[in-house]
């Protein structure tokens, strides 16, 4: 869609724009401060309005953490079908977003609302970072280790929820993951051994890893057995649950992913599963792996694990 548009004029202080499909824009204010800006919004993936607000806010703020920045301010984006959705329901959506922002230490300073056929909620999120510490998604190096901060499976679980097949315990597992703020990103920005950073969201693990590979001109090798998967999602994906986005994601990779011949039939589904809101994906020096995992563990990310490596070669992913 963007191919026919004129190229963006060069701005010396725009450190990160849309050239590398990164998580947020970064604009240098001075020698020690850069503004990080992003936005994200979507329609409900759960029935509970408060939980919807929490997930949407967590997902939007995640892009700030994925650049290594500290969030400082948010604006709410709200669309509701006027006269069709009770005011209390709308209030609960906004309350969910407010509570997540309060947890992150971020004020919601205002926002904008419109009449829309379906409920929509999200945020504009702003953050600050030292320009020298920005963690782009295209600066990975050959030999880097790959670390994933959260387990996969949010999309599969939401698909089961829509069909009324997600049990309460599984829903709580889904909610716990989807509303866990990716706060390790701030500490990871302080680590020289961390070379690239992104978060795994709508394009699935393979899609966001491909962005790292293409931007950094490297090949990735994933170890399927080391990729963390939420226990409830594992059972559901084995039973055939999947989102429509999973198939579209696979098609979008353009043949740049090689799956092992002996992989279970559901392997492709979980690796393409859209995550809302997923974990951080870190490319770091192998010597930094213990310290990176310590950051995740100290902040409550029990599923964080090394899932692969990067090497010189044609940008693609080989799953072993």
Residue 1 lies in a domain: no
Tokens linked to 291: 């310290």
Last residue of some domain: 81, 112, 132?
Answer: 132
Burial of 89 (0-12, 13-18, 19+ CB in 10 A): middle
Is pLDDT above 80 for 105?
yes
Tokens linked to 161: 């929820």
The pLDDT tens digits for 234-272 are: 999 999 999 999 999 999 999 999 999 888 989 999 999
Average pLDDT, integer, range 205-220: 98
Last residue of some domain: 116, 132, 148?
Answer: 132
Average pLDDT, integer, range 263-288: 96
Average pLDDT, integer, range 183-204: 98
* Residue 209 CA: distances (Å) to CA of 39, 137, 148, 281: 21, 9, 10, 8
53: nearest Cα among 94, 18, 84, 25: 94
Residue 166 lies in a domain: yes
* Alpha-helix runs per DSSP H in the chain: 49-66, 87-104, 154-162, 168-178, 184-188, 204-216, 231-238, 244-252, 267-271, 289-298
Average pLDDT, integer, range 116-125: 97
Q: How many domains does the chain have?
A: 2
Residue 229 lies in a domain: yes
> Going by C-beta distance under 8 Å and a sequence separation of 6 or more, which residues neighbour residue 151?
177, 228, 229, 230, 233, 279, 303
**Are residue 161 and residue 190 in the same domain, yes or no?**
yes
> Going by C-beta distance under 8 Å and a sequence separation of 6 or more, which residues neighbour residue 79?
41, 113, 114, 115, 116, 118, 119, 120, 121
Average pLDDT, integer, range 152-162: 96
Report the pLDDT value the prediction gives residue 242, as an integer from 0 to 100.
96
Is pLDDT above 70 for 220?
yes
Is pLDDT above 80 for 6?
no
Beta bridge partners, 108, equal: 74
Average pLDDT, integer, range 289-315: 98
44: nearest Cα among 103, 118, 153: 118
Report the pLDDT value the prediction gives residue 7, as an integer from 0 to 100.
67
* Residue 250 CA: distances (Å) to CA of 67, 129, 209, 247: 26, 34, 13, 5
Average pLDDT, integer, range 265-286: 96
pLDDT confidence bin for 5, thresholds 50/70/90: confident
Residue 6 lies in a domain: no
Q: How high does pLDDT run on average in the chain?
A: 96
Give the residue numbers spanning the domain of 49. Answer: 14-132
Is the bond preceding 277 in cis, omega lying within 30 degrees of 0?
A: yes
Last residue of some domain: 99, 132, 165?
Answer: 132
**Are residue 195 and residue 296 in the same domain, yes or no?**
yes
Report the pLDDT value the prediction gives residue 208, as an integer from 0 to 100.
98
**Are residue 188 and residue 121 in the same domain, yes or no?**
no
**Are residue 19 and residue 124 in the same domain, yes or no?**
yes
Residue 82 lies in a domain: yes
**Are residue 27 and residue 127 in the same domain, yes or no?**
yes
CATH of the domain at 171: 3.90.650.10
Please state the pTM of the whole predicted model: 0.96
**Are residue 108 and residue 178 in the same domain, yes or no?**
no
Beta bridge partners, 280, equal: 199
The pLDDT tens digits for 47-97 are: 999 999 999 999 999 999 999 999 999 999 999 999 999 999 999 999 999
**Are residue 123 and residue 150 in the same domain, yes or no?**
no
The pLDDT tens digits for 25-61 are: 999 999 999 999 999 999 999 999 999 999 999 999 9
């Amino acid at each position: 869609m963007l191919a026919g548009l004129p190229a963006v004029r060069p701005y010396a202080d725009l450190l990160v724009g849309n050239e590398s499909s990164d998580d947020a824009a970064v604009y240098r204010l001075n020698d020690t401060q850069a503004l990080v800006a992003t936005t994200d919004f979507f329609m409900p993936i759960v029935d509970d309005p408060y939980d919807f607000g929490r997930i949407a806010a967590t997902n939007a703020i995640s892009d700030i953490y994925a650049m290594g920045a500290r969030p400082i301010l948010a604006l709410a984006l709200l669309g509701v079908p006027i006269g069709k959705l009770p005011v209390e329901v709308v209030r609960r959506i906004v309350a969910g977003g407010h509570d997540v922002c309060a947890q992150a230490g971020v004020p919601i300073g205002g926002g904008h609302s419109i009449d829309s056929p379906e409920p929509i909620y999200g945020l504009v999120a702003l953050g600050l970072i030292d320009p020298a510490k920005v963690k782009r998604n295209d600066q990975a190096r050959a030999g880097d280790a790959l670390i994933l901060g959260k387990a996969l499976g949010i999309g599969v679980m939401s698909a089961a929820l829509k069909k009324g097949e997600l049990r309460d315990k599984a829903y709580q597992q889904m909610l716990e993951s989807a509303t866990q703020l990716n706060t390790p990103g701030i500490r990871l920005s302080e680590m020289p051994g961390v070379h690239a950073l992104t978060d795994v969201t709508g394009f699935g693990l393979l899609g966001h890893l491909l962005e790292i590979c293409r931007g950094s001109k490297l090949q990735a090798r994933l170890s399927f057995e080391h990729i963390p998967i939420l226990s409830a999602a594992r059972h559901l994906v084995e039973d055939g649950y999947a989102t429509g986005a999973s198939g579209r994601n696979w098609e979008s990779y353009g043949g740049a992913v090689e799956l092992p011949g002996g992989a279970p039939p559901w392997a492709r589904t979980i690796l393409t599963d859209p995550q809302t809101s997923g974990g951080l994906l870190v490319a770091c020096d192998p010597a930094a792996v213990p310290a990176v995992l310590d950051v995740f563990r100290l902040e409550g990310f029990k599923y964080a694990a090394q899932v692969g490596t990067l090497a010189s070669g044609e940008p693609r992913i080989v799953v072993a």
